[in-house]
Structure 1
Amino acid sequence: MTDLPVFGVLGGGLIGMSWASLFLAHGAKVIVVDPRNEAAAELSTFLAEAWPNLRALGLTETDTWGPVIVSPDISALGEAEFIQENAPDRIAVKKDLVAELEKHIGPEVIIASSTSSLKASDIQAGAQHPGRILVAHPMNPPHMVPMVELVAGQATSPAVVDRAEAIYRALNRVPIRVKKEVAGHLANRLTSALYREAVHMVAEGIADVEDIDKAIAYGPGMRWALMGPHLLYHLGGGAGGYRHYLEHLGPTQEVRWGELGQSALTPELQEKLIAGVERELAGQDRDTLVHRRDAALVALAGIKRDHGL
């Protein structure tokens, strides 16, 4: 796509490499800045593994990617027209990078942060041009999971959010506008709510790690891959829909809410959780599991597309 901006990827870790592969798949020029000596080699390996999936998803028709600049020097982003920032989730680090970045880019260049929990208002505090800063948080891996959460800060220009949304839509992403700043935005708060109860169940001896994961993967997780909780409960309400569900089964939800728990992640509990995952892996290495996950995500995307979901 020739109408896409020149993308700057600030931070070439796992999320940054995934973003870079998506941008390259759409034919955009990409500049990656990362201080590590191994960043270029890691990106090359990542692209070689990601490219067949990007082709299978229909995000590119080319056999390989175009040139990509990888530099340790933040001044290399001077040419960028849109910055996807992927630095560690520490506010001091983010603010220092924004201050340095603003020395090299024009005031119209958007800075979109991939932060999983920080607020745009905190990141933009003290910036020369705070109106161009917003949160654009993906789910991992961004090149395969299409959702992007857009969260404006107190100083973010509405026009910047509109422009960012248009760019992500051009990249075949599904932008979601979060109306209010909260730690963790939207999707991570939902996943954290489930994870809190999953950890609590292990701590209380209600179920083992393996069975909790099976319960999600072979139960509600199969439905969640197709539609969200509100729509699912609408279907669960039969002919009366969501109204019938809430009237007749809403009270049972409230009972369960009242019994939900929270357990401290003590060293002992952490070891118990890790041991459970190791039993669940049954000798599978992480890379094999990643490849299986990615292949399933490609297939799932096709199923959702074919069924209009």
Structure 2
Amino acid sequence: MKKAAIIGGGVIGGGWAARFLLNGWNVSVFDPDPEAERKIGEVLANARAALPALSDIPMPPEGELSFAQSLTEAVEGSDYIQESVSERLELKHRVFAQIQQSCPDTLIGSSTSGFKPSQLQEGAANPAMIFVAHPFNPVYLLPLAEVVPSAASDPEAIERAKEILREIGMFPLHVRKEIDAHIADRFLEAVWREALWLVKDGVATTEEIDEAIRMGFGLRWGQMGLFETYRVAGGEAGMKHFMAQFGPCLSWPWTKLMDVPEFNDELVDLIAGQSDAQSGHHTIRELERIRDGNLIGFLRALKERNWGAGKVLREHDERRRVAFHAAPASGAPLVMAEMQVLPGWIDYNGHMTESRYLFAASETSDAFLRLIGADMDYVAGGFSYYTAETHILHLGEAKLGHRLTGTLQVLAADDKRLHVFIRIQRGAEVVASVEQMLLHVDMQAGKTCPAASSVLDRLMPIAAAHAALPRPDGAGRAVGQRKS
């Protein structure tokens, strides 16, 4: 396994640790805070509940997490280092100097939201290995990482860093010219300044400003960004019409972006008091879980449409699916899906509803069909596997938040038929089994036909490997038949 060293275990450092760990990297954390292990443990608990819900194929085996007693111990043998200490330049310089005493040629990404890479590289033993890799919270869910090099950076090292970030499911946005606060935070700073004035001047409360964002343009920005949103606003004439229509208002004194309200105790108390009234009935951990659940729903909707951040999720799945395809035929049931029981999955009894067991089985069988090459491209060519018969046996209970695994065993296969047995498991407990018979169909002719040789070349070795497995309990059962 590859190793990532995380220096600084706060909210951002903990998010980086979770992102690497859940994508199969070993992670070593150094943070002198005696509460660091507890804090990262809580971030990891949120990440373990959230990140797998975005993936349509099994997550890799989780890496090993360790807490180092020194910075040198943490970085020893690391393939990648992420620095997430406090935003004090002199502190970062001390950290880089100590890292490069033992790892002068290892990539060091900095989570800084404000400093330029040239500032970070000042006095470094090997400035070419230091760059900005600025993420967004929660790091384990949001894919963006602003990758900012300087003139002193090694271009090959930057490309290697970007590939590592893609490997853990992130979107490395290469910022071609270094600038204070990079790209995204400059937008946030502008909006933040205007929001402070609106609260200070009594125009709006913190809650009203948040409602304006999340009920309106925030939803548009999340899937189209700024310029694409305005292009649509221009109608059929597009961006030129929009600029002609709204360009003149840029000279109007609408905003106070070049002016900042005085930062004093009165302003702090005003903002903090309104924020407490707005959200104080939730703990921070509760708000994090609410945020994560909302982000999962939003990101999955984008993923279904292969749009925006959802495209990044699809591409990350596909990269890991290639490794699945390259794996040899297994003599054990294949782990094909990792799922989590979400609020929309439960019924009035608080249990996972019947339709979701079938959905879980469908996720498992669909993943297997993709594995053997009967994917959407195959369907586009006019061929597919159709489910001819299904039998579901309920053996246990799944409740809100439970993690489920879908495994698949091939009972029999030939050129036209595929007989599979799916287990939906919570840990070692099988909560449901689903037996399916699928037929390979020529969709245009509307009748069965032999599968393509490329599909059979992947399917038949798995079927042969599974032929030696014991026949599952419940296979071949009819409705109402005794379980034993």
Question: The TM-score by the shorter chain falls in which range?
Answer: over 0.9
Q: TM-score normalized by structure 1?
A: 0.93
1:11 counterpart letter in structure 2: G
CA contact (8 A) 2:7 2:84 kept: yes
CA contact (8 A) 1:133 1:153 kept: no
Q: How many angstroms apart in 2 are the aligned matches of 1:210 and 1:102?
A: 46
Identity level (%): 32
CA contact (8 A) 1:53 1:298 kept: yes
Alignment correspondent of 2:342: none
Q: How many angstroms apart in 1 are the aligned matches of 2:134 and 2:60?
A: 29
RMSD value, Cα: 1.9
Aligned counterpart for 2:78 among listed residues 62, 80, 86: 80
Alignment correspondent of 2:173: 176
Q: How many angstroms apart in 1 are the aligned matches of 2:122 and 2:253?
A: 40
The count of corresponding residues between Structure 1 and Structure 2 is 305
Q: How many angstroms apart in 1 are the aligned matches of 2:49 and 2:292?
A: 10
Which 4+ residue blocks in structure 1 deviate beyond 6 angstroms?
none
Q: How many angstroms apart in 2 are the aligned matches of 1:62 and 1:150?
A: 25
Q: How many angstroms apart in 2 are the aligned matches of 1:11 and 1:286?
A: 20
Q: By percentage of residues, which structure has more strand?
A: 2
CA contact (8 A) 1:26 1:59 kept: no
Alignment correspondent of 2:93: 95
Q: 1:207 to 1:38 in 2, by over 3 A?
A: closer
Q: How many angstroms apart in 1 are the aligned matches of 2:253 and 2:239?
A: 19
Q: How many angstroms apart in 2 are the aligned matches of 1:65 and 1:26?
A: 7
1:184-242 Cα distance to aligned partner (Å, 9 max, x none): 11111111100100111112222222211111111111111111111100000000111
Q: How many angstroms apart in 1 are the aligned matches of 2:18 and 2:256?
A: 44
Give the deviation of 1:256 after TM superposition: 5.0
Alignment correspondent of 1:10: 7
2:252 counterpart letter in structure 1: V
**Mapping of 1:258-277 within 5 angstroms?**
260=257, 261-277=259-275
Give the deviation of 1:66 after TM superposition: 3.2
Alignment correspondent of 1:288: 286
2:285 counterpart letter in structure 1: D
Give the deviation of 1:307 after TM superposition: 2.0
Give the deviation of 1:74 after TM superposition: 1.1
CA contact (8 A) 1:111 1:134 kept: yes
Give the deviation of 1:142 after TM superposition: 0.8
Q: How many angstroms apart in 2 are the aligned matches of 1:174 and 1:55?
A: 18
Matched, 1:203 2:209: no
Segments of 5+ residues of structure 2 without an aligned counterpart are 308-484
State the SS of the aligned residue for 1:149.
Answer: strand
1:257-282 Cα distance to aligned partner (Å, 9 max, x none): 56655312221111111111112116
Alignment correspondent of 1:119: 116
Structure of larger gyration radius: 2
CA contact (8 A) 1:35 1:71 kept: no
Q: How many angstroms apart in 2 are the aligned matches of 1:302 and 1:195?
A: 28
CA contact (8 A) 2:27 2:63 kept: no
**Worse-superposed segment, 259-268 or 95-104:** 259-268
Alignment correspondent of 1:139: 136
Segments of 5+ residues of structure 1 without an aligned counterpart are none
